[in-house]
Amino acid sequence: MKLATIRTLEGRTRAVRVDEDSLVDLGADDLGSFLATPNWQERAAAATEVAAEVRGAAFAPVVPRPGKVICVGLNYRNHILEMGRDLPEYPTLFSKYADSLVGANDEIVKPPETGEFDWECELAVIIGAPVRRARGAEAERAIAGFAVLNDVTCRDWQFRTREWLQGKSWEATTPLGPYLVTPDELPGGVRPALAISTKVDGETVQEDTTGDLLFDPVALVEYVSTMGTLRPGDVLATGTPGGVGHARKPARYLEVGQQLSTEIAGLGRCQNTVVADPVTLGGN
């Protein structure tokens, strides 16, 4: 199944099942709250009511207000090598805030404070059941599905210190969408091996397969849930493959007006335009 949160012209959001020719209402305001309801899989499959407010509907972030967005750095072997690092023994974790998320076709806001605005296509794991210290089959069952994410990063801020938060959580910079796809529809299931790529103005700048992940989605659920409870709607961003702008010689970065396309086979595409922040330094 494909599940999403849509944003309507009436100013509401609704959780929907995305069928080929229709959007089916799931009876919840967004997908995060829907995933928190009992037996959501059966309810999503059985739903039949076509969503009424589809006029002008657009994809919101798959989960608009996740309780946690936990990201993994340096998780593709080729990206680790291009950044000049050794393969890690444990996942490198950092967090993002919900305010950083935008929908699959929303604008990405380039802060005036950065001159090094970089792309990072990623497979996002969406949690569908509460788990703590999950292992094996329990960790697998906690994965509701997968979506496309781009962890757009202010590199000059990221590397101000050894911690990465300040480069990763800028408002309205992180596309997440267009929908969640359940594991049963994907080759590899909860450990999918899918083509992943980024294009900037139509030029392919990243291209790999999620099968190259050093720590796969199940391993990440196991590791992160050891620290605290993962809850329905939480997001795990699994890291980016090689080809980021910062590692190029010379380095390349996103500019206002450019088109950023992030695609994962079977999961759809986020197509976003980079725009200037309407609030400039020193005033409104």
- In terms of domains, do 153 and 49 share one? no
pLDDT above 70 covers a percentage of the chain that reads 96
- Name every residue whose Cβ is closer than 8 Å to that of residue 167 and which is 6 or more positions away in sequence: 153, 154, 155, 156, 157, 158, 159, 160
CB 194 within 8 A of CB 123: yes
Which two three-digit tokens encode residue 89?
Answer: 């023994």
Total domains in the fold of the chain: 2
Average pLDDT, the chain: 94
Which CATH number characterizes residue 97's domain? 3.90.850.10
Which two three-digit tokens encode residue 65?
Answer: 């207000």
Q: How far is CA 65 from CA 29, 68, 137, in A?
A: 11, 9, 27
- In terms of domains, do 54 and 101 share one? no
- In terms of domains, do 175 and 222 share one? yes
- In terms of domains, do 157 and 52 share one? no
In a domain, 251, yes or no: yes
Q: Using 50, 70 and 90 to split pLDDT, how confident is the model at 86?
A: confident
Q: Using 50, 70 and 90 to split pLDDT, how confident is the model at 21?
A: confident
Cα 14 to chain centroid, rounded: 19
Tell which residue, 124, 126, 128, has the closest CA to residue 151: 124
> What does the pLDDT read at residue 53?
64
Q: Using 50, 70 and 90 to split pLDDT, how confident is the model at 199?
A: very high
Radius of gyration of the chain (CA): 18
> What does the pLDDT read at residue 203?
98
* 168-195 mean pLDDT: 97
In a domain, 282, yes or no: no
Strands (DSSP E) found in 65-194? 69-73, 92-96, 101-102, 108-110, 117-118, 121-127, 143-150, 153-154, 174-181
In a domain, 86, yes or no: yes
> What does the pLDDT read at residue 55?
63
- In terms of domains, do 82 and 47 share one? no
- In terms of domains, do 7 and 81 share one? no
- In terms of domains, do 174 and 250 share one? yes
- In terms of domains, do 124 and 212 share one? yes
pLDDT in tens, 200-223: 999 999 999 999 999 999 999 999
- In terms of domains, do 35 and 167 share one? no
Is the backbone of residue 26 left (phi > 0), alpha (psi -120 to 50) or beta?
alpha
Q: What is the rounded CA–CA span in Å between residue 265 and residue 193?
A: 9
In a domain, 226, yes or no: yes
Q: What is the rounded CA–CA span in Å between residue 233 and residue 203?
A: 33
* 30-36 mean pLDDT: 98
In a domain, 79, yes or no: yes
- In terms of domains, do 31 and 90 share one? no
Which residues form the domain of 172? 69-276
Q: What is the rounded CA–CA span in Å between residue 56 and residue 183?
A: 29
